[in-house]
Amino acid sequence: MLRLAQPPARRFVPGVLVGALGAGSAVALLACSAWLIARAAEQPSIVYISLAVVGVRAFAIARGAFRYLERLVTHDAALRQLTRLRVELLERLVPLAPDGMNAIGRGDLLTRFSRDVDELQNLPLRVLQPALVAGVTAVGSVVFLWFLSPTAAIALAGCLAVAFVAGTLLHATVSARADAVIAPRRGAVGAALVDLLSSLEALIAYGAVDASLNRVAAADAALRRAETRAAIGAGLSSGVVSLAAGAATLAGIVIAVPALRSGTLDGPELAVIVLVPLAVFEVCAMLPAAVGASRSVRSSAERVASAVPDVVPAELAVDDADARPLAPGADSTLALRGLTARWPDGGGAIGPLDLVVRPGERLLVRGGSGAGKTTLAHTLVRLLDYGGSFSVGGAEARELQQDGIRTLIGLCEQQPWIFDATLRDNLVFARETATDAELTAVLARVGLADWAASRAGLDTALGEHGSRVSGGQAQRIALARALLADFAVLVLDEPTANVDADRADEVLRDLLAAASSDGRTVILISHGEVPADLVDRTVTLVDGRIPA
């Protein structure tokens, strides 16, 4: 993950170079200014100081220009890499969705894909870039001072080393744990908040809102504690660096004054030796912070990596490299022979199952709760992988591209996803070319024409998660989508699960009439009774098998 977060050298190295030039200009500006002021105090002819005057102007302009360029180049590289990283993460997420994403709660997942991914851009910006620039500046400054006074150069190097070691150790002692737990605690706050907001109805009904609010407050307090501790660590380490900067200046005075008295140094050189460490430490103060930032980046990288594992769990269907497209107009006969499947956590195994579903057939798959009906449905649309054999129109499903199979076999889920958008938007993504007239016609087929007309028609807003539609209407909208997509085989998973018992038959009758028109195969999944005339055949699942 860290490798993915790091921009390529051709974009990263220019940032380090201009950063080092900016930092070098800052040090040179101070050295030049110190020399100029001290030399000017001796009131020489202007000729002797004109070069230094030009130097001060040049380094002042260069410092600003290089710092601006550094921000531009490093942020451009980091943001480009972030874009690439996001695309790569989404590409890794797609094969996991939806059945491989249940291990992490939605709130935590959201935090991983927003804050934790954002945190990864700090690898080049706050860890590697400042560390390299500080290193180059420190070495360059020590070498420069060496030519004036080797003793002063050694003293500066010593103070820099002490500042780095002491600052880093202090930072680590106070806030290493905090740096590592901030990201997971931020995730915990996100999880608690999403949990609270998405279950508000139940919490209000059972008077449990306060308990849930307390959970959010506790997660928030834990996050604040970690952030405070991290800030204390950062503050203490920058205090140590400032002390070391003062010590380096004092050391410069102690070393340079006797040299001045003995005549081996002149006044302007003394000013340079005493003041240059201040500029060097300003740049090197970033080092302990960079080590601290590396801990936060590592913690976020681990969280992102565990949300998108390199290897997709074997239980999920993934296209083989040589998977081929479904042949156009492929026969829609489905044949399962010794089929087995299970969920990524290893639970809910079904099979071995033997079953043939012929084109145009209306098959009811019955079974008690937990019998494996939804598991079978997810296997048929190639969300879950299978053992044994599952052929589609005579071709083995695992040899065909999943996308192709999903143009043939469609699934209307038990809890259909309704987007927080208009009725039109909720339908048209199933067939992007559909006109309003076609959308209205399909609404009539699923029995929603009058309801839509009594609202704002296709512009009716459906609310978040379909909060403004009933369970039966949500099922009808899902079926309307499926009809637009024109699947040859339609799997209806418990279409009346969220409908009143006395309206269930009516909804089911409407749905099946619409679904099985056009000679479509319908596999109806239900745990309850279904009027016999609605289906051609019934198979019963018991503990994931069809008893003989």
Ligand X SMILES: Nc1ncnc2c1ncn2[C@@H]1O[C@H](COP(=O)(O)OP(=O)(O)OP(=O)(O)O)[C@@H](O)[C@H]1O
Positions in the binding site for ligand X (CB under 6 A): 99, 102, 343, 345, 347-348, 367, 369-375, 527
First to last CA, the chain: 50
The span from the CA of 509 to the CA of 524, in Å, is: 12
| Closer residue to ligand X in complex, CB, 347/547 | 347
Q: What does each C-alpha distance from 524 to 191, 366, 539 come to in angstroms?
A: 35, 8, 10
The span from the CA of 525 to the CA of 402, in Å, is: 22
Q: Who contacts 38 (Cβ-Cβ below 8 Å, separation ≥6)?
A: 267, 268, 270, 271
Q: What does each C-alpha distance from 516 to 48, 187, 489, 492 come to in angstroms?
A: 97, 45, 9, 11
Q: Who contacts 290 (Cβ-Cβ below 8 Å, separation ≥6)?
A: 126, 127, 128, 130, 131, 134
Question: Which pair of tokens denotes residue 299?
Answer: 């913690």
For strands 489-493 and 409-412, give the pairing: parallel
Tell me the closest approach of the beta carbon of residue 350 to ligand X, in angstroms: 7
Tell me the closest approach of the beta carbon of residue 341 to ligand X, in angstroms: 9
The span from the CA of 231 to the CA of 234, in Å, is: 5
Tell me the closest approach of the beta carbon of residue 315 to ligand X, in angstroms: 9
Q: Do 420 and 465 touch, CB atoms closer than 8 A?
A: yes
**390 forms bridges with which residues in the sheet?**
336
The span from the CA of 294 to the CA of 516, in Å, is: 59
| Closer residue to ligand X in complex, CB, 272/371 | 371
| Closer residue to ligand X in complex, CB, 100/410 | 100
| Closer residue to ligand X in complex, CB, 8/346 | 346
Max Cα-Cα span within the chain:
113
| Closer residue to ligand X in complex, CB, 380/452 | 380
Tell me the closest approach of the beta carbon of residue 375 to ligand X, in angstroms: 4
Tell me the closest approach of the beta carbon of residue 108 to ligand X, in angstroms: 17
| Closer residue to ligand X in complex, CB, 23/383 | 383
**Residue with the CB atom nearest ligand X in the bound state:** 348
Tell me the closest approach of the beta carbon of residue 378 to ligand X, in angstroms: 8
Tell me the closest approach of the beta carbon of residue 281 to ligand X, in angstroms: 56
Q: Do 271 and 296 touch, CB atoms closer than 8 A?
A: no
Tell me the closest approach of the beta carbon of residue 206 to ligand X, in angstroms: 22
The span from the CA of 479 to the CA of 496, in Å, is: 12
Tell me the closest approach of the beta carbon of residue 349 to ligand X, in angstroms: 8
| Closer residue to ligand X in complex, CB, 409/442 | 409
| Closer residue to ligand X in complex, CB, 19/544 | 544
| Closer residue to ligand X in complex, CB, 229/342 | 342
